[in-house]
């Protein structure tokens, strides 16, 4: 004879009430909201960094264009 001592923990015989289920679902929604807000904050930070990089690239392109124009002017001069 096998003696099975691994039993599931005993719970109350009453089923989980609708209020308890709703509380659990509301808690899950709140957790998801916090996660979504964290992701949104991350996206905003990334967007700010990308705008900074874009601005720096635009300024560098303008500077490079000015240097090229100066170089063209110098090359066209005759000594």
pLDDT at 15: 76
Q: What confidence tier does 3 reach under pLDDT thresholds 50, 70, 90?
A: low
Q: Which residues of 17-52 are buried (b: 16+ CB within 10 A; e: fewer)?
A: eeeeeeeeeeeeeeeeeeeeeeeeeeeeeeeeeeee
The predicted-structure confidence for 11-40, as pLDDT tens digits, reads as follows 556 677 999 999 999 999 999 999 999 999
Distance from C-alpha of 56 to C-alpha of 50, rounded to nearest angstrom? 10
Inter-CA distances, 20 with 4, 8, 12, 24, 71, Å: 32, 21, 14, 6, 76
């Amino acid at each position: 004879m096998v003696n099975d001592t691994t039993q599931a923990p005993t719970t109350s015989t009453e089923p989980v009430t609708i209020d308890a289920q709703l509380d659990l679902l509301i808690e899950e929604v709140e957790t998801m909201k916090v996660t979504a807000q964290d992701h949104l904050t991350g996206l905003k930070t990334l967007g700010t960094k990308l705008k900074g990089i874009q601005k720096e690239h635009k300024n560098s392109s303008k500077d490079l264009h000015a240097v090229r124009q100066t170089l063209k002017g110098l090359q066209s001069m005759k000594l």
